Amino acid sequence: MRLLKRLFQRLLIFGLGIFTVWLIVFVVFETADRRLPWMLAVGLTYGIAAYLILPRAIRMGLKVLQRKLVPSFTVTGDGLPGDPVNLALIGTLRQLRAAFAALGWLEADRLNLASSWGMVRAFVLNSPYPTAPFSTLYLFGRGQDIGFQKAIDDSPRKRHHIRFWALELARARNTWGGADFWLNTDRPLGDARVIWVGAGTRDTGLSLTKLSFQITHATDSDANAERSFIVAELMKNQLIVDVTAVRSGQRLPAERVNHYLTDGEITVARLL
Q: How confident is the model at residue 135 (pLDDT cuts 50, 70, 90)?
A: confident
Q: How many CB atoms lie within 10 A of CB 94?
A: 10
**For residues 179-202, average pLDDT:** 79
Beta strands at 194-208 and 142-143: parallel, antiparallel or unpaired: unpaired
For residue 254, is pLDDT > 50?
Answer: no
Q: How confident is the model at residue 117 (pLDDT cuts 50, 70, 90)?
A: confident
Cα gap 118→137, rounded to integer Å: 20
CA distances for 213 relative to 38, 52, 266, angstroms: 20, 11, 29
pLDDT of residue 163: 94
Cα gap 259→125, rounded to integer Å: 28
Q: Are 87 and 227 in contact (CB under 8 A)?
A: yes
pLDDT of residue 162: 94
Q: Higher model confidence: residue 257 or residue 40?
A: 40
Greatest CA separation found in the chain? 65
First-last CA distance in the chain:
55
For residue 250, is pLDDT > 50?
Answer: no
Encoded amino acid at 45, one letter: T
For residue 264, is pLDDT > 50?
Answer: yes
The percent of residues above 90 in pLDDT, for the chain, comes to 18
Cα gap 77→105, rounded to integer Å: 26
Q: Are 20 and 8 in contact (CB under 8 A)?
A: no
**For residues 106-135, average pLDDT:** 83
Q: How confident is the model at residue 107 (pLDDT cuts 50, 70, 90)?
A: very high
Of 12-16, 118-122, 230-234, 267-271, where does mean pLDDT reach its minimum?
A: 12-16
Beta partners for residue 230, in sequence order: none
